[in-house]
A = this chain, B = another copy of it.
Amino acid sequence: MKIALCQVNTIVGNIEYNKSRIIDGYKKAVNDAADLVIFPELSLIGYPPLDLVEKKEFRQASLKALAEIADQSGEVGLLFGTITEDDDNIGTDIHNSAVLCYNGKVQFIQHKSLIPNYDVFDEMRYFDPAKSIYVHEFKGEKLGISVCEDIWNDADYWYKQRYSYDPVKDLIEKHASVIVNISASPYSFGKRESRKNMLSVLCKTEKIPLAYVCDVGAQTELIFDGASMCFDNEGNLVKLGKAFEEDYFIFDTKEKCQPVKSSERSFEEETLSALIFGLKEYCSKQKFRQVLVGLSGGIDSALVTYIAVKAIGPENVNVMLMPSIYSSEGSIKDSEKLIKNLGILSSNVSIQPVVKEVLKMLSSVVTEKHKRIVEENIQARIRGVYLMAVSNQFGYLLLTTGNKSEMAVGYCTLYGDMAGGLGVIADVYKTDVYRIVNYINKEKEIIPKEIVEKEPSAELSLGQKDQDILPPYELLDKILKMYLEENKEYDEITKIIGDGEVVNKVLKMVDNNEYKRRQAAPALRVSTKAFGYGRRYPVVQGWRK
């Protein structure tokens, strides 16, 4: 069976656009004499649709589009993901379904059986699970059709199962001759290898070929990396779609193919690609032509600026230098070097006169006691005022430059450096920022070495260094990774780190700054556990207080 995989980039909620992408892909594959053309999970409505599916008119529009697509199908099978409804009047009555059309009709619908509801997944809010799963005979094959999560519960592969039922096993017991999985799987580093290993084991164990089609694109903070995969019945990866771009290819289940190597590259390369792609997607889908970055002379804003240049071109990147009396001479010089290296537009406006005026006006209320923290925050917030004024003036998207380590411990100013529409590196630890910058500079110094080598400082008061308040970043990030990504807690982390005091201090900082992160811009997600959507941590709580 010749299966065409259409790895398309859809837009959440834009049913008309997505429909046209499906019809175009189908026509192309018909031309290529495919037997079956497959599209990702919920490709007609975009993934994740979130509360949009709770709107009756939205569901009706999607059902109308589904009928129009079915109408255009001919002898070649067309399989794609969309929502369908049932009428048992229990639960949401909505399903996340794979719909197979041919000869002008919907011929078969397989609902998703396993409904993920962890981290960034909230699907139990919206979708009822399938009551049963069937194979569908088509052109001499018994198609075993599943949707995304359905294939992630293999008892042979996982140490611990999330669900008691394994729909793919069920399909195999029902004599499926080929497994098709339509998917929307958010990117994080290492995820592609996981997918490959798991699917390979399945195909090898069950001696069955598999076509796995993924969507590509970014939806607000979630990045979908594509990289659709096909396996032969020995578990060899024989087809692999491009990462971070649309793709289209044909997998012939009967043809003997050469195994291909998985495409995952180094952490630095992958993460950089994901961030560039995520930002590019956000700009194009939100119709921002240009972006704005506040350039401090530090490594974070330098990396964000570089990512912006790669995403939308230097001619669309505007940076603003906003020195104060605490800005070192180096910061300005280094920023200017970066601006020259990248060929971007810049402006330079001192915040000093405004900060002075604010302090003068507030002299009756601001006392010596907390003056330092108040003054520091005023500086950061006046920069926020400048940047937002320019953003409002020209319609630029303001990018925030905070990294994950800072966001974790609250080493950032609400409405100051946290101001902006998208957190570009807010899911990248500080030590990883260095790794990525060194990777960028591998062959040629693009980000000036002075920026890379200087001791990190917010430059909000005289001689201030990050390490005055924070543990060394190597140590901080080690603690943060265990706490945030591995869900380890005080005792476990202290056993590894040794110094309970520093662990306690860091964990408290993370917890106590939840209120700040609640007001943070959405952040491109590149780790297994990002701040934002997939984290649900109480602001008011007494666990460690």
CB-CB contacts below 8 Å: A102-142 with B: 117-118, 122, 124-125
Provide the bound-state CA to CA distance between A90 and B540, in Å: 31
Contact with B along A41-79 (1 / 0, CB 8 A): 000001011111011111000000000000000000000
Interface assignment of A194: CB less than 8 Å from any CB of chain B: no
List residues of chain B with CB within 8 A of the CB of A519.
519-521
Tell me which of B91, B364, B393 contacts A164 (CB under 8 A).
B91
Q: Can you list 19 A-B pairs with a CB-CB distance of less than 8 A?
A: A11-B541, A12-B541, A13-B542, A51-B535, A52-B538, A55-B487, A117-B125, A220-B539, A347-B364, A349-B365, A354-B358, A358-B382, A365-B390, A374-B393, A381-B384, A388-B414, A388-B415, A421-B515, A518-B521
A527 within 8 A of B: no
A157 in the interface, Cβ–Cβ < 8 Å? Answer: no
> Does the CB pair A162–B13 fall under 8 Å?
no
Interface segment out of the listed A25-33, A442-450, A489-497: A489-497
Chain B residue contacts of A347, Cβ below 8 A: 364-365
Complexed CA–CA distance, A226 and B529 (Å):
35
Distance between Cα atoms of A542 and B58 in the complex (Å): 11
Apart from A286-B539, A415-B419, A519-B521: 16 A-B pairs, beta carbons within 8 A: A14-B541, A51-B536, A52-B541, A57-B489, A90-B160, A90-B164, A219-B540, A282-B540, A351-B361, A353-B357, A354-B358, A362-B390, A367-B393, A370-B393, A381-B384, A381-B415
The 8 nearest A-B residue pairs measured at CB:
A14-B542, A13-B543, A57-B489, A13-B541, A415-B415, A124-B124, A11-B542, A117-B124
Each complex incorporates copies of this chain amounting to: 2
Binding site for B on A (CB under 8 A): 11-15, 17, 46, 48-52, 54-58, 89-91, 117-118, 122, 124-125, 160-164, 218-220, 282, 285-286, 347, 349-351, 353-354, 357-358, 360-362, 364-367, 369-370, 373-374, 377-378, 381-382, 384-386, 388-390, 392-394, 414-415, 419, 421, 487, 489-492, 515, 518-522, 535-545
> What CA separation (Å) do A338 and B125 show in the bound complex?
45
Across the interface, A543 reaches (CB within 8 A) one of B58, B367, B374, B393, namely B58
Contact B354 A361 (CB under 8 A): yes
Q: Do the beta carbons of B389 and A536 come within 8 Å of each other? A: no
Q: B residues within 8 A CB of A542?
A: 11-14, 17, 46, 285
Considering the complex, give the chain B residue whose CB is closest to the CB of A161: B90
Which chain B residues border A545 with CB–CB below 8 Å?
14
Q: List the B residue with the shortest CB-CB distance to A515.
A: B421
Q: Is the CB of A358 within 8 A of B386?
A: yes
Q: Do B378 and A385 have beta carbons less than 8 Å apart?
A: yes
Return chain B residues, CB-CB under 8 Å to A537.
50-52
Q: How far is the CA of A394 from the CA of B369 in the complex (A)?
A: 10
Report the nearest B residue to A61, measured CB to CB: B543
CB neighbours (8 Å) of A378 from chain B are 385, 389
Q: Which residues of B contact A369 (CB under 8 A)?
A: 393
Closest B residue to A221 by CB, please name it: B539
Of B349, B392, B393, which is within 8 A of A361 by CB?
A: B349
A522–B540 Cα distance when bound, in Å, is 11
Chain B proximity of A521: nearest CB distance (Å):
6
Instruction: Please state if A350 and B354 are interface contacts (CB–CB under 8 Å).
Output: no
- In the assembled complex, the Cα of A11 lies from the Cα of B542 at a distance in Å of 6
- Contact residues in B for A365 (Cβ distance below 8 Å): 347, 349, 389-390, 393
